[in-house]
Structure 1
Amino acid sequence: MNELDQAGLARLRDGWISGGAMFEFAPVEWKEVATASSPDEQERRLLAIAAQALDVALRPAAPKTLKRRPPLPVLALPMLPERLRPLLRAALKYAADARLKTRVAALVASRGFVLHPMDWMPSVSDQESPDIYAPWVDWQAGADSQKQSRREDLTAETWDDFYPAARRSALIDLRRSAPALARTLIETKGASEPAEVRLALVELMRFGLGADDVPFLKSLSADRSGKVREMAGRLLARLGERGNQADGGSEDSTAELAAFIEEGKSGFIRRRATYAPIKPKSQAQQARRADLFASCYFGDLVVRFGRTEPDFIGAWQFGVDDGADLFLVRMVAVSGSDEAVASLADLLAAAGGRLAILGLQLTARLDSGRKRVLVRQILNDAQNLAALILVEGAEAGWLEWSDLAKGKTLPALRSAVSGDNDVTRRNAEQYLEAVGFLASPVSAEKLIGEVVAAGLPPASPSLSLLRLNAALAGNPNQMINPEKIA
């Protein structure tokens, strides 16, 4: 339709708006179609023709850059029941960032459901969302339906049939069940990938990491990416191999870090070695010490003192310098052996208080049993409960009411929500969000009752995840009615 036709339609429209008859002003072709015995019928027919022209002839053409997307993949779990979606939306709205929103999705997945895509979708770069959402991640990355519909095992031949999220999930499964096969795939197919992809693939070697992986990891000392070399060196350090010297200066850096640590003796009868951090003399020294703890490997540091990793951990004087304690724990988490991580986690959990909270830095490498021990100890101490949000790889919905009731947690919460201190109340609300993910449905429901009775408004947004948790009972046919906990 050209501009002249559009102007004619505009004239007809303006005439009808003013209440006049416009048949005489219509194009000749339209008059032939719209001719009728009465003037009213002529106007009605003319109006129908104009409406058809406006709705069809003037419909904008789709841009040439517009691409047709395949249908959104159907996930392997059923969608969350419609009656629970208001609770879900409230929990997502209260979650402050993408990481906490992912936790909401993880809680729902642990109860056998997935979220509606209009409520939440993982981002294209999301690697923390539950594996069940991998098809959605790949769909956003431009995955086509043909590849998504395939269900073959990941092999060298089917490598390109998997989009990144699905491939990552398949490789993790392989590293747990057949680590040698996964390593071969990473070695052969990863070599031609860009540096960012190679780094992500090498990082997956942490699953099922063992002595058989050493030759491949050592071969990465010649990789063209410094980040890949660094990741390989850390994984080798976890296996007890000396730090990767490919980038140079590692020995000097370790010696420099050791100079920040003082070796001493304790005990009158049975003398034993102790290791304590030396207080830096300036901000520059403090910053340098932090850099050294972050860049050196724990095994190399221990060798400087002639000790084993568990022995060095047992001899470290916690409490002398809080900053150094944090740096050491992070160092062990990144490059310590499995034995060192387990030993440090046990020590920190037994110590309780601030040290137990430090143990949360290790959770990415702890088994579920040790994670639960740490969480229970933090609950028992009731110190900085909001730090539970930092637990990495935590299981959802296991915390029982007895775990909450036997320590100092409930009294501390009652006091916080009933007081006038806004800071304390906000801290308590952050804790409620953290425990909303960890608690069982029964524990969540009981905790709601406790804090509401203590003075927290029943409609407080901080209860949103607890309410969703309580409504998501394990058996879909026995889910708690949301109205009972509203």
Structure 2
Amino acid sequence: MNELDQAGLARLRDGWISGGTAFELAPAEWKEVATAASSDEQERRLLAIAAQALDVALRPAAPKSLKRRPPLPVLVLPMLPDRLRPPLRAALKQAADARRKAQVIKLVASRGFVTHPMDWMPAASDQTAPDVYAPWIDWQASAEEERLPHEKLTLQNWAQFYPAARRVALAGMRRSEPAVARLLIEAKAPAESADVRLSLVELVRIGLGPDDAPFLKSLAADRSTKIRELAGRMLAMLGQHGEGGADAPVAELAGFIEEGKAGFIRRRTTFGPAKTKSHAQEQRRAELFELCNLVDLAARFGVTESDFITGWQVGTDNNADIFLSRMIAASGSDAAVAHMADTLIAAGGKPALLVLHLTPRLDIGRQRVLIRQIVKDAQFPAALGQAQDIEAGWLGWDDLSNGRFLAVLRNGISAKEDPPRRAAEDIVETIGYLATAPAAAQFIDEVVAAGLPPASPSLGLLRLNAAMTESPSQSNR
């Protein structure tokens, strides 16, 4: 429509706005449509034609820079029912950081649902969202081309998969066909950027086995320091030593550890942290624990990983215990991680909290044992919030009511001082992630009776948890 037509429409509009008729101002073609009708009908017909012209004919053309995106992919799990969306939004709003938000999303996924995209969408760089959201992550990253998500990832169609889809596909292959996945990573990773290369090599942890050792050793020449260190840690998990460069740091770290003997009848070797003489030495010791691997440190003392852990004097130096736990989590074999966890749990009390550094490497059974012990002992319940990669929605009411946990929590809620009360509220939020739906409902009643306001934001995740009682099949009826 040209400018003259637009000007004519403007005169019609002005006539109607002023309360007059516009028939005489209409174009000749429009008059032919309306001339046989009554005067009122003429105006109505002109108004209909003008509205059609303004709403359709004069719709602005899309700019050339605008690109059409494909529809948002449908995920394999159903969306959360509408009645649960308000408590979901409340829980997300209360989440203080990305880790808390990730817990909300993981809890929802554990119950068989995904969020509505208007309530929450993963970012293109999201590394913590459950695998079910991989199509949305890829859609965020780029949805300009059609992907082939149902095809098996191969060397030929590598470029047709976006990063999140690749990671999910490779993770699945590492569980079922580890050698095939490793060959894909070995062939394609060198051409990627350092960050992408690191995320691909990290997938080798899944199903890690002796056959992966040659590839990991080849990474000793990688351009990225982080990748070289990661490869060295994974080799250490296999009980093998990395390619050079570690002797000097290991020897220096060994200087911070004292070797001794214990037992009168059955003599055994013990290992304990030497007393540091300055803050600088303390910092250097921490750096060395992070830099070195368990298998190399144990070999320096001529013992196995298991013997070193057995001989370690837990409780002598809390910081050294933390450093060692982190080292074992990063570079110890699965057996060494389980051994350290069992040792710390058996020690009870504060040493048991060190197991939290090992949780990403522990199996579900040991994770549950750890959480149950912390809840039962109730010595350091606030530490529950530090647990990482813990399964959502399994802690029952029997677990929560077994021991002193509820009594300690009541004291914290009733405290007038801010630190104890804030710690108690943090515990409430963590239980909102860990509890079953029935336990969450009972726990709400318990903490409200203890003095927590019913409208407290800390109850957000608990309320969402308690409300998710129906299965996805029931919600679709």
Say yes or no: TM over 0.5: yes
Q: Judging changes above 3 Å, is the alpha-carbon distance between structure 1 residues 16 and 386 closer, same or farther for their aligned structure 2 residues?
A: farther
Q: 1:10-409 alignment to 2 at 5 Å?
A: 13-14=13-14, 16-20=16-20, 44-143=44-143, 146-148=146-148, 150-245=149-244, 248=245, 250-267=246-263, 270-409=266-405
Distance (whole Å) between structure 1 residues aligned to residue 471 and residue 27 of structure 2 = 68
- Is contact 1:352-1:378 (8 Å) kept? no
Aligned Cα RMSD in Å? 2.8
Deviation at 1:377, TM superposition (A): 1.4
2:418 is the alignment partner of 1:422: yes
Deviation at 1:226, TM superposition (A): 2.6
Report the 3-state secondary structure (helix = DSSP H, G, I; strand = E; otherwise coil) of the residue aligned with 1:466.
helix
More displaced stretch, 42-51 vs 61-70: 42-51
Q: Judging changes above 3 Å, is the alpha-carbon distance between structure 1 residues 25 and 216 closer, same or farther for their aligned structure 2 residues?
A: same
Distance (whole Å) between structure 2 residues aligned to residue 50 and residue 384 of structure 1 = 73
Q: Judging changes above 3 Å, is the alpha-carbon distance between structure 1 residues 374 and 474 closer, same or farther for their aligned structure 2 residues?
A: farther
Distance (whole Å) between structure 1 residues aligned to residue 425 and residue 346 of structure 2 = 27
Report the 3-state secondary structure (helix = DSSP H, G, I; strand = E; otherwise coil) of the residue aligned with 2:147.
helix
Code of the residue aligned with 1:66 in structure 2: it is L
Please, what TM-score do these two structures have when normalized by structure 2?
Answer: 0.90
Deviation at 1:269, TM superposition (A): 5.2
Q: Judging changes above 3 Å, is the alpha-carbon distance between structure 1 residues 37 and 134 closer, same or farther for their aligned structure 2 residues?
A: closer
Distance (whole Å) between structure 2 residues aligned to residue 37 and residue 474 of structure 1 = 61
Deviation at 1:29, TM superposition (A): 6.9
Distance (whole Å) between structure 1 residues aligned to residue 275 and residue 56 of structure 2 = 78
Code of the residue aligned with 2:106 in structure 1: it is A
Deviation at 1:206, TM superposition (A): 0.7
1:156-196 Cα shifts (integer Å, max 9, x gaps) = 34434433222212222222222222222222233333332
Deviation at 1:25, TM superposition (A): 6.0
Deviation at 1:16, TM superposition (A): 4.2
Distance (whole Å) between structure 2 residues aligned to residue 266 and residue 15 of structure 1 = 104
Deviation at 1:87, TM superposition (A): 2.3
Deviation at 1:363, TM superposition (A): 0.9
Distance (whole Å) between structure 2 residues aligned to residue 144 and residue 413 of structure 1 = 52
- Is contact 2:210-2:238 (8 Å) kept? yes
Q: Judging changes above 3 Å, is the alpha-carbon distance between structure 1 residues 33 and 296 closer, same or farther for their aligned structure 2 residues?
A: same
Distance (whole Å) between structure 2 residues aligned to residue 417 and residue 175 of structure 1 = 46
Code of the residue aligned with 1:459 in structure 2: it is A
Report the 3-state secondary structure (helix = DSSP H, G, I; strand = E; otherwise coil) of the residue aligned with 1:191.
helix
Report the 3-state secondary structure (helix = DSSP H, G, I; strand = E; otherwise coil) of the residue aligned with 1:263.
strand
Report the 3-state secondary structure (helix = DSSP H, G, I; strand = E; otherwise coil) of the residue aligned with 1:274.
strand
- Is contact 1:143-1:163 (8 Å) kept? no
- Is contact 2:78-2:472 (8 Å) kept? no
Deviation at 1:341, TM superposition (A): 0.9
Structure 1 alignment gaps of length 5 or more = 480-486
1:211-246 Cα shifts (integer Å, max 9, x gaps) = 11111111121223332222111111111111332x
Report the 3-state secondary structure (helix = DSSP H, G, I; strand = E; otherwise coil) of the residue aligned with 1:273.
strand
Please, what TM-score do these two structures have when normalized by structure 1?
Answer: 0.88
Deviation at 1:54, TM superposition (A): 3.1
Deviation at 1:207, TM superposition (A): 0.9
More displaced stretch, 151-160 vs 444-453: 151-160
Deviation at 1:131, TM superposition (A): 1.3
1:422-452 Cα shifts (integer Å, max 9, x gaps) = 3222211211221112112222122112112
2:450 is the alignment partner of 1:451: no
Code of the residue aligned with 1:137 in structure 2: it is I
Code of the residue aligned with 2:290 in structure 1: it is A
Counting matched residue pairs gives 475
Distance (whole Å) between structure 1 residues aligned to residue 291 and residue 87 of structure 2 = 44
2:458 alignment partner in structure 1: 462
Code of the residue aligned with 1:308 in structure 2: it is T
Deviation at 1:330, TM superposition (A): 0.9
Q: Judging changes above 3 Å, is the alpha-carbon distance between structure 1 residues 50 and 152 closer, same or farther for their aligned structure 2 residues?
A: closer
Report the 3-state secondary structure (helix = DSSP H, G, I; strand = E; otherwise coil) of the residue aligned with 1:115.
coil
More displaced stretch, 278-287 vs 123-132: 278-287
Deviation at 1:315, TM superposition (A): 2.5
- Is contact 1:380-1:406 (8 Å) kept? yes
Q: Judging changes above 3 Å, is the alpha-carbon distance between structure 1 residues 475 and 279 closer, same or farther for their aligned structure 2 residues?
A: same
1:308-358 Cα shifts (integer Å, max 9, x gaps) = 222222332333333222222111111112222111111111222322222
Q: Judging changes above 3 Å, is the alpha-carbon distance between structure 1 residues 261 and 2 closer, same or farther for their aligned structure 2 residues?
A: farther
Code of the residue aligned with 1:60 in structure 2: it is P
Distance (whole Å) between structure 1 residues aligned to residue 4 and residue 445 of structure 2 = 71
Deviation at 1:56, TM superposition (A): 3.1
Q: Judging changes above 3 Å, is the alpha-carbon distance between structure 1 residues 477 and 236 closer, same or farther for their aligned structure 2 residues?
A: closer
More displaced stretch, 15-24 vs 67-76: 15-24
2:434 is the alignment partner of 1:435: no
Deviation at 1:360, TM superposition (A): 0.9
Distance (whole Å) between structure 1 residues aligned to residue 432 and residue 353 of structure 2 = 18
- Is contact 1:71-1:145 (8 Å) kept? no
